[in-house]
Amino acid sequence: MKTKTLGAALISLAMLVAGCSSGSSSSSSGTSSASVKAFAKVDNTAWSYHSGDDVYYQIGLTYCENPADTTYETAGIFVPGAYMSASDNGDGTYTCEVNTSGRVNGYTADTAPIVIPVNTPGYSALSAPTQYQSSCATYTASGFIYYNPGCRGRDHGAPAGVTDLKAAVRYYRYNAGEIPGSTDRIFTFGHSGGGAQSALMGASGDNDLYTPYLEAIGAVSDVSDSICGAMCWCPITNLDEADAAYEWNMGSTRTGLSDDDQAVSDALAESYVSYINNAGFVDGGGKTLTLDSTTSGSYYDEIKRVIETSLENFLQDTSFPYDASSSSSSNDGPPGGGPNDNVSRDENASSSSSLDLSGSYDTASDYVDALNAEKEWVTYDSASGDVTVSDIATFVSYFKGASKNLGAFDQYDKSQAENVLFGDGSGNGAHFDSTLSSILETLGSDYASDYAADLKATDTLGTDTETRVSMYTPLCYLLKSEEGYQTSTVASYWRIRTGIEQGDTSLSTETNLALALEAYEDVKSVDFASVWGQGHTEAERTGSASDNFISWINEICETL
């Protein structure tokens, strides 16, 4: 990420939206003054009712005044029946008032959390609900409000998706007090591209860079779009350095590259060293993490520790004897009720291990012996449960081979979902990786001019590509080394899960997000785990994704 570019963008956009309050000073639920846009609120005479689930609901709620695409920019709200006092209108609809005495799972209409599913695989668009969503019942039965806005996707170009989600959050706050739910307890959740946009919702609350985009669609003004917490499974994010991270972590598994492409891969891996040394990540003790080379340094040791912790957790969580052939790395499906995120984008959703681990193991030591069948790289202390791995490269060679072509996210032919995301908004792809662009220019590649031209392009609001990439990079708002640091209202609570064997992103992607959040002073809790034996899925150490997500919210709400 180029911090000077983002800083200049922040200044220029601030001038465009003079009079708009700073994001960092916004209340998490506040409505600042009479300057709120006059806009139709939820019609409390138009509720429908699902008797089987005891849920009152409305769909087709337009959350912005000038939607760019009505296929996506409406929402559905699904409310536990106990939070409503209703009278039958005689035409299949109900007139409802908030019932503050009703309780579900200890929550009331005033305290109920609001959960927002972000089912956007590959940053795809999310169609708004057109009928009752049965997936809501998992959450309404737990006392939550299930708020399901649609949003535009990659074909519309960044930052359309997050802009829409922000507008939807603002709309709910605009209705605060007239419909159930605590707007201090808003949580987003998603997987892969949805996990990334959930992370962006958590990192970019109230950021001024989004103001012109929100104004363009007629979003409610002067209402916060920040959230309380973000649940992120395998977030495909930090796209400004994602190609470099991929080659640093997984490039060693590539075979058959041409000399030119191998030079690009090596240069990307080397550039990641510079990125880490400039980023300012710190460990739990406040020590700055750095790389001495691509294979040594305190940051390298931190990533190795993530691998060791993942295996330690697996050995602790697993009941032995353990039959690996009968186990499954999948969970209960996407918790928001949408399709799995394994869309056609060169992704690998399953284990890529080259070791045969399909046998039955009587003890944890037997399993470790199987890991060491070809070479000894794992040391396990059965008394303490501690694991040590010799190096990252061996783990990667067995479990995390590169599943994407060179330029994992910004490919030469502009074929990746992320290329479309930073395209012109008509579904055409564009190059966006300035690091890769510089490398291609230095190496004299025929592709260099194409990358350079795309990076100079601007969208319909005049925002250049590098700024749009920064807007879609959570670390832009979280790292002290970035100009965007402390320009947002960052969510207080985070839960991040990833399958350690996924070939979709570098292991550093989620780790860097967790490290940045743990060091951010306004963040109260970061629950991060990289799950052994799982790939690109709603990875969990034990239990189901939805149950664990619900339990996490319940634990947070007990402290609020």
pLDDT at 10 over 50: no
pLDDT reported for residue 355: 86
Question: Look-up: residue for tokens 């769909």?
Answer: 59
Q: Domain 44-239+478-559 is in which class?
A: alpha beta
What is the per-residue pLDDT for 353? 55
Query: How confident is the model at residue 132, as a pLDDT?
Result: 98
Mean pLDDT, all residues of the chain: 90
In the predicted model, what is the mean pLDDT of residues 171-183? 97
Q: Read off the tokens for 373.
A: 């069948």
pLDDT tier, 2 (very low <50, low <70, confident <90, very high otherwise) = very low
Instruction: Give the rounded percent of residues in the chain with a pLDDT score beyond 90.
Output: 86
In this predicted structure, the answer to whether residue 335 has a pLDDT above a threshold of 70 is no
Residue partners of 151: CB distance under 8 A and separation at least 6: 72, 73, 118, 120, 125, 126, 160, 161, 162, 164, 165, 168, 197
Distances 56 to 79, 172, 205 between C-alpha atoms, Å = 5, 16, 29
Q: How far lies 160's CA from each of 68, 168, 396, 402, 527, in Å?
A: 9, 12, 35, 30, 28
pLDDT in tens, 292-333: 999 999 999 999 999 999 999 999 999 999 999 876 543 333
Asked if residue 11 has pLDDT above 50, the reply is no
Classified as helix, coil or strand, 456 is coil
DSSP H or E run through 79:
strand 74-80
Q: Whose structure tokens read 């074909």?
A: 155
Sign, CA torsion 540/136/558/286:
positive
Q: Average pLDDT of 271-298?
A: 97
**Per-residue tokens: 493:** 């609570």
> What is the distance between the alpha carbons of residues 443 and 448, in angstroms, rounded to a whole number?
9
What integer pLDDT is reported at residue 325 of this predicted model? 84
Q: Tokens 């040791």 map to which residue?
A: 301
pLDDT score of 13 more than 80: no
Residue-range domain boundaries for the chain: 44-239+478-559, 242-473
Query: Can you give the pLDDT at residue 356?
Result: 86
C-beta contacts of 252-257 below 8 A and 24+ residues apart = 252/393, 252/396, 252/397, 253/396, 253/397, 253/400, 253/401, 253/402, 254/402, 254/406, 257/406
Bridge partner residues of 94 (DSSP): 47, 88
User: Would you state the pLDDT for residue 192?
Assistant: 97
What's the pLDDT at 38? Answer: 56
Rounded CA Rg of the chain: 24
Mean pLDDT of 366-389: 97
